[in-house]
Structure formats: structure tokens, C-alpha cells
Amino acid sequence: MFSHGALDFFYVIIFPGFLFTAVVGLLSTWVDRKVTARLQWRVGPPWYQPFADIIKLRAKESIIPYGSNRAAFIIAPVVGFAAVILTSTIIWIANIYPQSSFVGDIIVVIYLLYLPSIALIVAGSSSRNPFGAIGAAREMKLMLAYEAAFLFAIFTVVVKNGGIISLGGIVNYQLNNGDMLAQGASCIIAFIVCLLYLPAKLAVAPFDIPEAEAELIAGPYTEYSGVSLAIFKLTKAMLLFVLPIFVLTMFAKTVWTPWVILWYVLVLVFIILVKNTNPRLRIDQALKFFWLPILGLSVVGIILASVGL
Amino acid sequence: MKTENNQRQLRGIDKWGLKKSPWVFHLSTGSCNNCDIEILDALTPRFDIERFGIVLVGTPRHADVLLVTGIVTVQVLPRLLHVYEQAAKPCFVIAVGTCPCTGGIFDGSYHHVGPLDKVIPVDVYIPGCPPKPEAIISGVVKTLARI
């Protein structure tokens, strides 16, 4: 019916890729802002607010600051954006066609998930702004903090299912043997570690250290305006959707049941509640938090998994 | 001394976007802090201007509206021009309080350059010492009507 290329284009641009992820991601940021407003006893913005923000930013002037590295300044947001689109496509295709031979494995997804953070670091360093530079340095330290625990948590799943590292294989395994979460204590521990990883990766409170608005204005985003800022905002909104779906794919084969909506909303509400009830940590506190208790927890998880619990 | 008004007129959906999400940068050119407190009052749950998509941002690069409070002094003038030029256009300027509107009791002082509209183009004036939060919100609404 369609050629292979047209189908790939459809996957990347429309359904699991750009359009779908952007719309759901922007609606998720609205849920975030609305719930935050209700928690503070306010009314909050209307549902189209994130869309209006993006449309407005797209129409505004894009300024490239004098003395910045022009190429890096312009390319950085696009790289992060492309990586998120690709991640979303890979995760959803793996969920839709778990039988297909290769659409990417966990390693690819983990590498692609690095890219938005690296784009932020490049953006902050290239913009010739002290706030941007400090924000980039903090983002780097935050990445060092959370990645080790997250990798251990993901590889707990791999150890548990007998060494399957393709996403489709993990979905298949869960279709045959039940959810990963129901497989034992090690997976529950890994899931908790992943839940704590989410706010850090998304850079929301208490881990909004790179863009702490009271100290760093807007961190790496400080010099950005217009289209580039719109792309950054969109990337962040899409990550808010893609990351929980990735974690849910790893631990609960939910994507083709209506339960996916419930699971996703639960994870989103968890992120929002943590965000609204915790003050921002200092970077050293975040590092200590992830390297001592959380990394310890994930190591316990992987040991439990290797003895079969 | 006066900066050019190099605004672009937005049309269609872009205009709608700007009307629904004006991001505000708060610039105090040496006010007595009274107008600044009234601006922060407008952010409280009682008034909740996030209903209209208004958010306070930290950098002029993100701003659609500059809220200027306080008189324009000789010292602050270069900084004020710098911030106005840093803001991504189209950017609207609101003079909050009597000081930027006319100079108030500082009119004719040795350190006073003049009213704000002598230096940068001003879209809306909100007089009062300080203006009430209701007056500030009404001023922002009038700015949006001018887009």
C-alpha cells in the first residue's frame, strides 16, 4: 500500500514520533501547571496554554548573542529535539510490533536519552553567558549523579529476564511471563529507582538545579529566545511524556491496554507532587542523594536479581 | 537618545499566541519598591494572573512585556536601554507607577532624565503611587488589546 519510506516518515513525523508526542507532552505540561496551581489554591491556566506559549515563541525574534558560538548555539536545541523524536518513535514501534526483528534496543534508547542533556550543556556553554555556563556545569554534575543508578536499575530488568536487551524482546517477554513489576523484589526496587530518576532527568524540583530560576535566571536557556527557545520548551514537554513511557515499557507492558493512561497519569502525578512538596537541593546534596542511598538501592536490586529474587 | 520602535505587527495565529501568553520581565529602574510589591501581589492566588498565561520570567530574552517601575535616573539610563535592546521583539513596555509615567516628585531633579517615554517607546501608562494590583491587571489587559 505504502512504500517503506513513506511509512517510516509517517512513524517519525506523525504517529509515535513528532506530532503525537508533542501534543501529549504539551498537554502533560498543562496538567503539571494546572495541578500546581490547584495545590497553591489558584485557578491555573487554560488547557491551550502550552500551545499558545509555543506558537508565540515561534513568532518572536530569535537573537544570537554577540560573541557566542553561532553554530553550536543554533544546532544544540535541534539535536536534543531530534533525539527525543527518535526515542519516542523507537519506544512506541517496539511496543506496537514487539515481534519485529530490530527497531533498536535499550542501549540505543539510553544513548539517545543522553542527547537532550548534552544539547543543554552545549547550549549553556556556547551562549557566552555566566548563568548559562554555570547551568551547563550543574547539568553535567547532575548527569553524573543520576545516570549510574538509572543504568543499574535498567540492567536489573535485563538480568531478571535472562539477558534480553532489545525493547521488543522485553515487551514480548512480559506478554508471555507477566509484568516485570510482578517478577520479584528486585524489579520493584529498580522501579522505585527509576521513579526517583525521572524528576532529575526532567530537571524539575527538587532537582531543577541547572535552571534554578532564583539563582541562575533560566540556566542554559538564559540567552535563548524565539524559535530556539520554543524548540527547547517542546523538547522538555516531550521528555515529560517519553521518559515515563520508557520506564513503563521496561516494567509493565501497558501500552496496548487502557491501563497505560492510568499508569502514565499516576507517574505524572507522582512527579508533580514531588515537585510541589520539595525545595530545591544543592548540587552536592543531589550528588550525595544519588550516589549513596539510590545507587546503593539499585546495587541491592541487581544483586537480588542475580540470585533470582 | 530615544530608541527606535522596531516592532513587527503579528498576524493571525501568532497574534493569538502573543495575546494568550504574554511573558513579563520586571525591571526596576530604582523605584522605592512599592510598585514592585504591588506587581508581586498580582501573582498571588487572589489575583492569579497565570489564568491569562502571564508568567514572570527572569531574562529580557524571554520577555514579551517589560514592566518598568521607578524613575529613569542618569545612572540607570544605559542599563535600561541595554535591557530594552536585549528583549526579543515584539516587546511591549508598560510604565508602572507615577515615577516612570511623569517623574512624580522627582521631576526636575539633577539625577532625573525625564519620563520613561522620552527614552524608550511606552505602550501603556499605569499611574498611581503605587497602583493597585487591579489597576496593573487592567493595564496589562489594555496592552493586550493593542497587540
Strands B112-114 and B72-73: antiparallel
pLDDT < 70 stretches in chain B: 1-8
Weakest mean pLDDT among A71-75, A302-306, B7-11 = B7-11
**Grid cell in block for residue A204:** 524539575
Structural element, H or E, at residue B94: strand B92-96
Q: Select from A57, A61, A222 the Cβ nearest to the Cβ of B59.
A: A222
Mean pLDDT confidence for A173-194: 82
The percentage of residues in chain A with a pLDDT greater than 90, rounded to a whole number, is 13
**Grid cell in block for residue A219:** 540556566
- Burial classification of residue A107, based on how many CB atoms lie within 10 Å of its CB (0-12 exposed, 13-18 middle, 19 or more buried): exposed
Sequence-separated (6 or more) residues with CB below 8 Å from residue A159: A186, A302, A305, A306
Q: How far apart are CA B22 and CA A165, in angstroms?
A: 46
Ramachandran angles phi, psi of B66, nearest 5°: -100, 120
SS3 content of chain A, % helix, strand, coil (to 5): 75, 0, 25
Say which amino acid occupies A267: V
Confidence at residue A237, expressed as pLDDT on a 0 to 100 scale? 92
Weakest mean pLDDT among A115-129, A136-150, A198-212 = A198-212
Confidence at residue A1, expressed as pLDDT on a 0 to 100 scale? 45
Confidence at residue B107, expressed as pLDDT on a 0 to 100 scale? 84
Q: What pLDDT band is residue A261 in, cutting at 50, 70 and 90?
A: confident
- Nearest-by-CA chain A residue for B23: A53
Please check whether residue B50 touches A, CB under 8 A.
yes
DSSP string, A222-234: TT--HHHHHHHHH
Kindly tell me if the per-residue pLDDT of A179 is higher than 70: yes
- Three-class secondary structure of residue A41 per DSSP: coil
Please check whether residue B49 touches A, CB under 8 A.
no
- The alpha carbon of residue B101 is apart from the nearest alpha carbon of chain A, in Å, by 27
Mean pLDDT confidence for A247-263: 78
Confidence at residue A235, expressed as pLDDT on a 0 to 100 scale? 92
pLDDT digits (tens, 9 = 90+) for A105-132: 888 888 889 899 999 999 988 988 888 8
Tell me whether residues B17 and A46 touch, CB distance under 8 A: no
- Nearest-by-CA chain B residue for A40: B45
Q: How far apart are CA A254 and CA B70, in angstroms?
A: 57
Mean pLDDT confidence for A194-221: 84
- The alpha carbon of residue A47 is apart from the nearest alpha carbon of chain B, in Å, by 10
**Taking the mean position of all CA atoms in its chain, how far away is CA A19?**
17
Q: What is the DSSP letter of A255?
A: T
Residue B65 with chain A: CB contacts under 8 Å: none
- Nearest-by-CA chain A residue for B62: A225
Size of interface A-B (CB pairs under 8 A): 83
Tell me whether residues A49 and B90 touch, CB distance under 8 A: no
Residue B45 with chain A: CB contacts under 8 Å: 40-42
For chain B, positions 75-94, list CB contacts with chain A under 8 A: 86, 88-90
Confidence at residue B1, expressed as pLDDT on a 0 to 100 scale? 40
Q: How far apart are CA A143 and CA B125, in angstroms?
A: 47
The percentage of residues in chain A with a pLDDT greater than 70, rounded to a whole number, is 96
Kindly tell me if the per-residue pLDDT of A2 is higher than 60: no
Q: Select from A41, A60, A218 the Cβ nearest to the Cβ of B88.
A: A60
Q: Select from A44, A59, A223 the Cβ nearest to the Cβ of B61.
A: A223
- The alpha carbon of residue A44 is apart from the nearest alpha carbon of chain B, in Å, by 5
Tell me whether residues B21 and A49 touch, CB distance under 8 A: yes
Q: How far apart are CA A266 and CA A272, in angstroms?
A: 10
- Nearest-by-CA chain A residue for B47: A42
Evaluated on CA atoms B74, B80, B81, B82, the torsion sign reads positive
Angle between helices A70-96 and A4-13 (to 10 degrees): 110
